[in-house]
Chain A
Amino acid sequence: MSQVAANTVSLSWYEASARQRIDALVDAGSFSEFIGPELREISPHLSIFDLPEQFDDGIVVGRGRLDGTPVLIAAQEGRFMGGAFGEVHGAKLTGLLRAAHALKEDVLILFDTGGVRLQEANAGELAIAEIMRAVIEARRAGINVVGLIGGRAGCYGGGSLIAGTCSRLIISEQGRLSVSGPEVIETNRGIEEFDSRDRALVWRTMGGKHRYLIGAADVFVDDEALAFRRAAIDALKMHGRCDVAVLEAEQARLARRLQRFGEAEDAVEIWQTLGIGSPTDLPALPTGAFLRAANDRETADDAR
């Protein structure tokens, strides 16, 4: 019999390190790491650039229990190289997802990433592709792959594409989900189209509230490890499929989004279309009031 010991640590998800997040997420003391820092499996490529290495290459993978249920977990460290995917970093997640498929265990991915690590860009890009394929193969075997987004680095670039393959996404207000980062858009399109230093603009375009409202994320939680834990426990009770019907539903869902919001110039217009009373006040709302206001949001149930 497994003993369920809920952790009671109160912790800001945004501020916490990858290891702190795992500790606060899983049942107390249940986590064991694969290829831990003591094995010093560092990136073989950073030294070419005379850059500091981290013993876990910025990702912690392992196995723990969530509310008594075994689960495989990966947590990215957004402060090390922006949580970016390099060769070792990516391969740890690929291995974890392949293991999930083989062992029939669900997976939690704690995203905190700027995307591909440029110093090992080719390896990182391929890791993203391998991970996406491994997610889909695991999901087709009935495995839940749940993404948690609320870290400092957000979930950008290839990380956002992996998130798009997950069966369910949990996001906090601080979480950002986007392919191109604000600076990239500004560089390519000019500051008139996107002022990357206008943080309110960044958040209402890419942040957790907007993503939840358009159905890009399924659950909106406070920036609090316990809130992520509760949402993750619920998410693992779902049974996500990944078949033609689901993709057809997603196709309809995404087409509908373009139809409804494709002409919008700004998130506020989208929120207005969603029937939100005073859309400009939305960013300032605390969680409870926001969730009430978000009642008529777009959802992605069975369409992800």
Chain B
Amino acid sequence: MSDWGMQKAALGERLAAGRQHAKGKVVPTPSLGAFLKAVIRSGDRVCLEGDNQKQADILASALASLEPGDVRDLHMVQSGVVLSAHLDIFEKGIARRLDFSYSGPQSARIARMLFGGKIELGAVHTYLELFARYFIDLTPNVALIAAVSADKDGNLYTGPNTEDTPTVVEATSYKNGVVVAQVTEIVDKVPRVDIPGDLVHFVVEANRPFYVEPLFTRDPAAITETQILTAMLAIKGIYAPYGVRRLNHGIGFNTAAIELLLPTYGEKLGLKGKVCTHFALNPHPTMIPAIESGWVEQIHCFGSEVGMEDYVAARSDVFFTGPDGSLRSNRAFCQTAGLYACDMFIGSTLQIDLEGHSSTVTTSRIAGFGGAPNMGSDPRGRRHPSEPWLKAGAEAAPGTNAALRRGRKLVVQIGETFGERNTPLFVERLDALELARKLDLDLAPVMVYSDDVTHIVTEEGIANLLMCRSKDEREQAIRGVAGYTDIGRARDAKLVEQLRQRGVIQRPEDLGIDPLDADRNLLAARSIKDLMLASGGLYRPPSRFRNW
């Protein structure tokens, strides 16, 4: 007869070993190393919590300071490889295999380590995809997570940065894994229970908050006239005609410009209430003027944003907040919302090729995906109609039966034809292909596939790829907005002009926009200070963004 309780028994052994170094559920910080050695086994699948925002940094350092003689060959399954400790773990041989989603600040080092064979790569995922695999074939044996506070029973309060925690805990704890949380402090009673104590086995009091990166703060002072022009084109040429009310914005200055143009330019176009009413979006500081002027009905957040806590708490009509008043974020739910309940994703990218594939990878950096490919894709499982979705579907397949026609999610890539240091946005061949070749990957890391992208917006105009009827048309539509890049200058001018006549390409003048009107005075806020003042002092920007 089989023993059907082997995992529970093994868990019991680990917990017993862990309790040797704990008082109840509380692990004293000096014992952290010995404790981790006791509960983690070589070859374990370990989820070290951290994404593009919050980080279980104390636990990451503790794990990295173990000796490979004690623990080795771990398989790390985690959203973000962001802290240097995350890679030290591989450098030391404590971990060997990696499945992840995002690597922002470590993108160059992770590439070097992949080339050097220090890391055995499983795959680079989108957030939602990795979360899904936690429940199928990448379930962690141990989860090292981060929260704001805990009580002695292990009930956790995550504050506004709940983010990935419920997902990680759900997958680990209910499948006989060990959950260890670092918290800023242990309290008698937590302000609200984000994670029930039953699911949390151990708690470490860090005596300082976990690290959070203010990734979604864009200083309005850095927005250029060209970015404003692209924002005007997007608002008048896409938001308005499709009536986009439910959407997600990527991070970047182009979308920040859009957010800051809503109360000024958008208002002038009479779009208030007709576009941008519901968002799957982090609390971008650049959203403050639009929220304050009554544009936005509702925002659900993946995570929080540093400095926005008090503002969000004071705007519970717009944001999701708990009984304690603070934001409740949830990355898995928000990613799902971004995929299924939004009609548009708009974001910037680094490279777009002639087919319309786009990528943020360069040959020496692997930045990962985060959530953009999920948001920036057309959900085949969607069944509910909406005006923009149906309209986009009709543009893509005009001659078909409307009742049987799929709608299309609007997936918009926005940017200037030349990026930093005059590097062109448009390329013959994505650097991602070269990277895939060098690393012998089956898939090139493409952020948004060409069959998902519907529009490309640059300062030269908008290319509507839904209306292209052939590969050649698509290429010329892309060349036709590629400005003075090599790709743009090699356009077939006659064909581009024909596409323009058909409305596939729209120039600023076709939309009644004078590029000379793209002025910074159009921005509802021109500095972080303006944002702070617009929030009535509720937004408290991090020091590095201040100039007062």
Contact = CB atoms under 8 A, between A and B. Distances in A.
Given A12-B526, A15-B526, A199 B544 contact: yes
Contact of A199 (B537, B540, B547): B547
Given A12-B526, A15-B526, A286-B533, A198 B543 contact: yes
Contact of A174 (B521, B545, B547): B547
A211 to B, nearest CB: 13
Nearest to A200: B543
Given A15-B520, A284-B537, A203 B526 contact: no
Given A12-B526, A15-B526, A198 B544 contact: yes
A109 B528 CA distance: 28
B543 A199 contact: yes
Given A200-B543, A201-B543, A284-B537, A174 B526 contact: no
A209 interface: yes
Given A15-B520, A284-B537, A286-B533, A199 B545 contact: yes
B4 interface: no
A10 B548 CA distance: 21
B307 to A, nearest CB: 12
B546 interface: yes
B532 interface: yes
Interface string B363-389: 000000000000000000000000000
Contacts, number: 36
Contact of B547 (A10, A197, A203, A286): A203
A200 B221 CA distance: 16
Residue picked from B532, B533, B546, most chain A C-beta under 10 Å: B546
A215 interface: no
A10 B520 CA distance: 12
A174 B548 contact: yes
Contacts of B527: 12, 14
B259 to A, nearest CB: 19
Interface in A272-293: 283-284, 286
Interface in A190-248: 197-201, 203, 207, 209
Interface string A122-133: 000000000000
A156 to B, nearest CB: 15
A27 interface: no
A173 interface: yes
Contacts of A201: 543
A207 B543 CA distance: 14
Given A15-B526, A198-B543, A286-B533, A203 B548 contact: yes
Contacts of A197: 544
Interface of B: 221, 520-521, 526-527, 529, 532-533, 537, 540, 543-548
8 contacts: A173-B529, A198-B544, A199-B547, A200-B546, A203-B546, A203-B548, A283-B546, A284-B537
The 6 lowest CB-CB distance pairs between A and B, nearest first, are A200-B543, A199-B546, A200-B546, A203-B548, A283-B548, A198-B543
